[in-house]
A and B are shown apart, each in its own frame.
Chain A
Amino acid sequence: MATFGRGLTAAIPVALGYFPVAVSFGIGAAQAGWSVAEAGFVSAVMYSGAAQFVALTLIAGGTAPLVTIITLVLMGVRHLFYGPTLARTAKDATFRRSAVWSYGLTDEVFAVALAQLSRQRVAWSEPWLTGLGLGAYASWVSGTVLGAWLGVWGTEFPPFISDTLRFMLPALFLALVLSLLTKESLAMVGVAVVATGIAAVFLSGAAPIFFGMGAAALVAAGKQHVRGAQ
């Protein structure tokens, strides 16, 4: 049985990767004139890494609140697909506690959950998902508070350690991609990688993710269609 504690353990790579990024956000927030409480409040309530850095730039730059809100909301649209995608790994399961665990459904938490559930390394369990999400969330919020505190005192996280920990997130994504890789999914993943790479040349932020997702979905649907026609 996948428990809350096991979820917390599964969150360790995510938490380690989040921490330096959150510290950087906190330092940036302090340098922009935000208090420790304000920086912590943003991380606790908004809880969306890339969007928070954009928020920092927009708010500190005096952008109109409505423009800021629209920009940041659009950045979060990709999350619409995460819940239903996870749900497909949970045949006949119920979602009684989804109001709790869905709060922590970030890119990284989703990726870890999907990889573990798809490979049936853990059975569908809402306490497990809650532990996974809480571990990542605690790291993000505490890292922000520490960073803002360091920023207020004019100190910074040692760059070498920060850079190494920052490498953990792409390393984690690679490990997760490889854990999902089968003969069947090879073409789909390959096309997603190429589509994202091309989109990233022309688009910034989270937009290239849609191209990766769309390309993978098209390949999978096409293969299924051909199989159905045979």
Chain B
Amino acid sequence: MSFIITVIVVGLANYAFRFLPIKLAANRVQHVGGPFGAALGALGAGAIAALFVLGASDFYPQAWLPATAGFGAVAVLMWRTKNVAVATIVGALVYALVRLV
């Protein structure tokens, strides 16, 4: 029983964290300017950069060569095509190929 309660309470908290700020603040933050507005606008890019660092760190140092090749492929493809899906999938294929070799 405590298993079900734990899962439901954590699930509800996660949902509240995702939904309530939109419900309560979304319309207000849309037009916030100045340094505070700039900081709010930067949170997303900062989060994505942080998620990249944490995700990539799993592959270093043990798979540094295939990971570096894969990330290199992503960078080149983003530079040439600007297509996120293509760059991601080709990057993973390059990772797999180098890992096989």
- Do the beta carbons of A176 and B84 come within 8 Å of each other? yes
State the Cβ distance, B82 to closest chain A Cβ, in Å: 7
- Do the beta carbons of A173 and B52 come within 8 Å of each other? yes
- Do the beta carbons of A76 and B13 come within 8 Å of each other? yes
B contact residues, total (Cβ < 8 Å):
74
Chain B residues with CB below 8 A from A196, complex form: 49-50, 53-54
Chain A residues with CB below 8 A from B13, complex form: 72-73, 76
Q: How large is the interface on A (under 10, 10 to 19, 20 to 34, 35 or more residues)?
A: 35 or more
- Do the beta carbons of A103 and B15 come within 8 Å of each other? yes
- Do the beta carbons of A102 and B82 come within 8 Å of each other? no
- Do the beta carbons of B95 and A164 come within 8 Å of each other? yes
Which of B10, B47, B57, B84 meets A200, CB within 8 Å?
Answer: B57
A123 at interface by CB-CB < 8 Å = no
- Do the beta carbons of A110 and B14 come within 8 Å of each other? no
B51 at interface by CB-CB < 8 Å = yes
Besides A46-B7, A82-B21, A217-B42, 8 new A-B residue pairs in contact (Cβ under 8 A), listed by A number: A13-B85, A72-B13, A83-B21, A85-B44, A95-B22, A164-B96, A178-B75, A220-B42
